[in-house]
Structures are given as structure tokens and as C-alpha cells.
């Protein structure tokens, strides 16, 4: 499984609807409207790098209203659940 955080800058007119469109896209696990330099953050989870390229450049990057993206591909995934399980070994 390949995970990425995609930062998205959008045109002002696209802001009201882009979040819903992102959240409904195959490969996008979660989408957030955020403050700051970027307008949205999409969490992408797909099987491999080829699918990641398709989702990010073929779909998100080509969406009407998307000005630019920055993609951060995860090297390792950690969660509170995983960390709690690691530290409870042998207890």
C-alpha cells in the first residue's frame, strides 16, 4: 500500500465544491479544507506507485479549479494504534 499527502491550491470559485469532489475520488481516503498557503489536503491510499501517479497527476492535477499540487509520498506509516501495539509487546 502506498500513502501520500497531497496539498492542493484551488481557484477561489472552486473552493465550495472541490472538497466533496476530492473526497469522492477513487484512491482519496480523506479530504480536508485547511487554512494557510494550501486550500485542501487529500490523503491518498492506493496499491502502488503507478496508481498514485494516476490519482495525483491524472485526476487531482487535472481537475477544474486546481491551480497546483504538492505531493508528499509516505516512506512509512505510523499511527497511535501501531505505536501502542509495539510498546505492549511482552506485557
Model pLDDT, residue 77:
80
Query: What is the pTM for the complete model shown?
Result: 0.85
Give the β-pairing of 2-10 and 28-33.
Answer: unpaired
Q: What is the mean pLDDT of each run of 10 residues along the chain (91 residues)?
A: 96 96 97 97 96 97 97 86 59 53
pLDDT for the residue numbered 78: 78
pLDDT value for 86: 57
pLDDT at 84: 59
> What pLDDT score does 82 carry?
60
b/e map 41-63, b = 16+ CB within 10 Å: bbbbbbeeeebbeebbeebbeee
Overall fold of domain 2-87: Alpha-Beta Plaits (3.30.70)
Amino acid at each position: 500500500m502506498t500513502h501520500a499527502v497531497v496539498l492542493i491550491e484551488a481557484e477561489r470559485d472552486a473552493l465550495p465544491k472541490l472538497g466533496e469532489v476530492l473526497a469522492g475520488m477513487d484512491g482519496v481516503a480523506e479530504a480536508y479544507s485547511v487554512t494557510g498557503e494550501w486550500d485542501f489536503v487529500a490523503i491518498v491510499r492506493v496499491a502502488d506507485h503507478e496508481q498514485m501517479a494516476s490519482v495525483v497527476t491524472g485526476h487531482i492535477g487535472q481537475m477544474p479549479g486546481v491551480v497546483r499540487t504538492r505531493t508528499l509520498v509516505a516512506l512509512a506509516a505510523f499511527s497511535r494504534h501501531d505505536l501502542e501495539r509495539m510498546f505492549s509487546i511482552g506485557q
